[in-house]
A and B are shown apart, each in its own frame.
Chain A
Amino acid sequence: MARIVVIDYGMGNLSSVCNALAAAGATPLRTRHPEELATADAIILPGVGAFAAGMENLRAGGFLPALREAVLEQGKPFLGICLGMQLLADSGSEHGHSAGLGLIPGRVERLAPPPDGDFRLPHIGWNDLAIRRHDGLYADLPDGENFYFVHSYVFVADDPGVVSSTCEHGVEFTASLEAGNISAVQFHPEKSHRAGLKLLSNWLSRVGKA
């Protein structure tokens, strides 16, 4: 059985992610120890909260070099969820500028819907995706499927080619990234009922093949 390691760096609700992975057929291992990444078959970085605090916790937990090694050099399948997606960027602007993991070129900025419409922030609730790639995370999921979002910041990728779905809240923004072994979603599959479980099992089936 594949060793799916969920990084516990003190940023939010890990139980839901682990429960959903279990329901999708995996046996996740949550860890605070960066050395566990060395023996992992695949890695999940979940998380909610502020960008700067997330980076600080990863640094303090000793995860920065281990993540770089496992994801960039060894090419292990990686899934970032919500803050775990945003941290992949070069930089974030939440509570001041801070450097990110720099695993996918881009930056994280506050969502800026037009002020004249009733687009409230945070962007909380179910929203539908425009899916650009159906061969990975979204296999057998229809265009327009709804997922649960809760965030105020969004990932702006330098290379639009890595964006595998978008969503709209007054402005279009990146809902997911798929670039080689790295996948990431802005929404919460673990909170998106059946569609979310399907997405997780799609990702897990790729892990099996990696």
Chain B
Amino acid sequence: MSNKRIKEAPITMDTFLKGVWEENPVFVMLLGMCPVLAVTNSTINALAMGIATTFVLVGSGALISLLRHTIPRQVRIATYIIIIATFVTIVDYVIQAVSLELYNALGAFIQLIVVNCMILGRAESYASKNRITKSIVSALGMGTGFTVALLCLGTVREILGAGTLLGFPIFGADFEPWVIMILPPGGFFVLGSWLLIFALLKQRKTKMEGLARAR
């Protein structure tokens, strides 16, 4: 790694925004689907999961980036997992300290952040190759993208499945909640719909680009 120490590109807004839009972990890379489907049955759960994952991404990214020249290649995956597990354990305790109700709602999915392939993927492909500041900015971007994606699912599922937003009822008493939306199948339906929207957007963009080129 040290033999090709070319000058790194400076940190731009793009370093951050790439994770939010262009390389969105959920809608573009389809990583970390397990929490995306499992804990997005309400807005608050989605938000908490997103923040917890962002914290782990940033913490592990920073530490891995800091140690990138000392970690031998042969044991890098084991090392990354230890570092990620450390931050997950910290998050686990912090959430219990913040709210037991939230902790019970998220259940085993906090511990399961360890095996979220997005985090290990970012450690391997980005944090281990870039400076600490850049890794942190990129991890923040990825975390924001993940949180936004979880919120996209969480709000839609909560509104349709429970008729509430952040626990406050938004429809009249006549509204019959669409319960399936907060059950597991609803997660697949809503994720599928969002992916469809993003695919349509992408298709339109390439079409427009094709037209522009033809002209």
Do chains A and B stick together as partners? Answer: no
Name A's B-contacting residues (CB within 8 A).
Answer: none
